[in-house]
Chains A and B, each alone.
Chain A
Amino acid sequence: MTALLEVRSLGIRFGGLQAVDSFHCRLNQGEIGGIIGPNGAGKTTIFNMLTGIYPPTAGEIFFRGENLVGRPIHGFTEHGIARTFQNIRLFKELSALDNIKIARHMKVKYGFFPGLFRTEAVSRRENELEEECLSILERLSLAQYARHKASGLPYGVQRRLEIARALATSPELLLLDEPAAGMNPQEVDQLSKTILWIRDEFKVTILLIEHHMQLVMGVCDHVTVVSFGKLLAEGKPDEVKVNPVVVEAYLGKGGKF
């Protein structure tokens, strides 16, 4: 069975700095993978390469058997990779609903001139779209915020909306960049359940970056540890947790999770 995502010896160099070096990982359909590592380890840089934002200077990104390296950012999305950002990047001045509508961009198709005349068919499609988007919001219990401006929503809701927006592109692979940042333990607990639910409900494979060990250990099938741009260890959460190299990188010698 070929993996959904297979990354081979991925590397990027910014001038003299090798930010990420020969990173690799493999994710099967329906799995949840985690990338952990200390601050500045290059985790977000890896995400940026996996979504086309930074073109890697070495390596390949195979997604459903196809190498995506060299494609534009929207090309990655077209192939079925969606993401959230560490520091929420919603379309702040727009309503939650319009945020979702923009994410459905690839799913709406009508000609330029029918669009100008707003023909019957266009109108119908726009009405359908409105319903689709409202139902996406509803599934993530965001329906009540549909007409609210994104920037005015509470922090936690914004995070959820960003996930909803990523899901609205109908991805196969969802990348979550620190989804639990700024949440309290109860919220993190809830988030774990949500992530598992999203995987089953939307039939997506998930790769996430996280600092909350509890979350990572609870939901991930597979964990990759990076430090200073290098891959330190990989494996099942339980294996990684007791790996002395990892413990040392995180807590120094003699530390314990």
Chain B
Amino acid sequence: MKERNANAGIRRYAPMIGVAAAVVVFYLAIEYLRQARVLTPYYVQILMFGLLNCMVTLGLNLINGITGQFSIGQAGFVAVGAYSSAAVTTLLFEFNKLPATLQPLVFLFAVCVGGFAAGVFGYLIGRPSLRVKGDYLAIVTLGFGEIIRSLIRYIEAVGGPRGLPGIPQYAGVRGGGLAWVLFFFTLTVWFLRNYIYSFRGRACVSCREDELAAETMGVNTTTYKVQAFIVGAVTAGAAGALQAHIIGFIHPDQFSYVRSTDFLVYLYAGGVGTMSGAIIGAMSLTIVLEILRFLADWRLIIYGVVLVLMMLYQPNGICSGKEFPFLIPKLKAAAKSSKAGVTGR
């Protein structure tokens, strides 16, 4: 009996162990290529930024794709995460003077603070904003994002309009920062997958499908819309915290609404409503835009044209509603569960 339980346990955790192992192998492979000078730090950094963009886009997918709200202020949450975590490592602690054993803990703490602060803002913004719907919600979130940026410019302690330099580059590309980024990325994917396929996630989906019907099914739609905002904000905040500690310098203008529309583009180009779409959209566009750098000024022109063509000829995005199977939790009875999962449109 005992043995059978143990076996069940192994079977249950096998996919997770598999994914974790895959992430570790991936990390080691990249590290090896870097040591072997096949990959320059520049490439690794692009990969890291791609993963950060994935995190933010995954959070945005929860708000826009799963819950059916329309937020275009995600960069504001990234800013909150970046600034609050940087405040921890520069103002609260003198990071570089800390003993090496304490540094990871303080860094972890800083990322948590970044995520938490963004979450608080997510609540403060989500709660009143949800009184308005659709396009109005979009403009309110955009407005809040810009207000956050204005506020940062106002706070002298974090550099105001001049930006904040000298943040310890603890997650920098040379300090093995890829490990940190991969860790938080994997955590984000795992948490969001579990969230979406829980009763809370289904409640979010019901808000998207038909708010009134959802209410008559006993779903407090306000609660779940706000919750989606908070979770999405926390993800963005964590990504912001990492970003601050990769580059070591943050400036209010890095978080303008233009950045918010980037995430929107990643999501819709990849395929809104699925995590696969968010990940593939963010990763591929980040990389493609870097590859196209040799085009100099032509790069964004082509980007604009491609975006328009994409919406004309592949409107459902690259993934068009398909989800990677490992992003859908297995159920015993669900031997032949549909490919699209709960989020398919």
Contacts and interface: CB of A to CB of B under 8 A. Distances in A.
Does A touch B (CB under 8 Å) in the complex?
yes
Interface of A: 51-53, 72-74, 76-78, 82-83, 85, 89-95, 98, 101-106, 108, 110, 112, 115-118, 120, 122-123, 126-127, 129-131, 134, 147, 165, 169
Given A74-B218, A115-B195, A118-B194, A89 B212 contact: yes
Contacts of A105: 199, 202-203, 206, 217-219
B342 A98 contact: yes
Contact of A131 (B195, B214, B216, B333): B333
Contacts of A102: 202-203, 205-206, 214, 217, 219
11 contacts: A53-B215, A74-B219, A77-B218, A90-B210, A98-B205, A110-B198, A122-B198, A126-B197, A126-B331, A127-B332, A130-B331
Nearest to B273: A93
A120 to B, nearest CB: 7
Contacts of A104: 199
Given A74-B216, A85-B213, A105-B203, 12 more contacts: A72-B220, A89-B212, A92-B210, A98-B205, A102-B202, A102-B206, A103-B217, A105-B206, A108-B199, A116-B195, A122-B194, A127-B333
B65 to A, nearest CB: 12
Contacts of A117: 191, 194
Contacts of A83: 216
Interface of B: 12, 191, 194-195, 197-200, 202-203, 205-206, 209-210, 212-221, 329, 331-334, 336-338, 342, 344-345
A104 B218 CA distance: 9
Contact of B345 (A93, A115, A123): A93
Contacts of A94: 205, 209, 342
Contacts of A53: 212, 215-216
A87 to B, nearest CB: 11
A93 B200 contact: no
A122 B12 CA distance: 13
A80 B42 CA distance: 60
A105 B200 CA distance: 8
B212 A98 contact: no
B333 A77 contact: no
Given A74-B219, A120-B12, A91 B198 contact: no
B100 to A, nearest CB: 30
Contacts of B194: 115-118, 122
Please indicate which of the listed interface residues A74, A83, A95 has the most CB atoms of chain B within 10 Å of its own CB: A74
A82 B217 CA distance: 7
Nearest to A98: B342
Contacts of A131: 333
Given A115-B194, A117-B194, A130-B333, A78 B205 contact: no
B213 A89 contact: yes
Contacts of A165: 217
Contacts of B217: 74, 77, 82, 102-103, 105, 165, 169
Nearest to A115: B198
A126 B329 contact: yes
Contacts of B203: 102, 105
Contacts of A93: 209, 344-345
Contacts of B338: 95, 147
Contacts of B331: 126-127, 130
B210 A89 contact: yes
A106 B214 CA distance: 11
Contacts of A95: 338
Contacts of B206: 91, 102, 105
A51 B216 contact: yes
B209 A92 contact: yes
B321 to A, nearest CB: 10
B213 A147 contact: no
A98 B217 CA distance: 12
B219 A72 contact: no
Nearest to B193: A118
Nearest to A116: B191
Nearest to B336: A147
A72 B215 contact: yes
B185 to A, nearest CB: 16
Given A92-B209, A95-B338, A134 B216 contact: no
Nearest to B13: A120
Contacts of A103: 217-218
Contacts of B333: 127, 130-131, 134
B29 to A, nearest CB: 28
Nearest to B332: A127
B218 A106 contact: yes
Given A102-B217, A115-B200, A116-B191, A130 B334 contact: yes
A62 to B, nearest CB: 20
Contacts of B214: 91, 102
A98 B202 contact: yes
A169 B345 CA distance: 24
Contacts of A89: 210, 212-213
Contacts of A169: 217-218
Nearest to B198: A115
B12 to A, nearest CB: 7
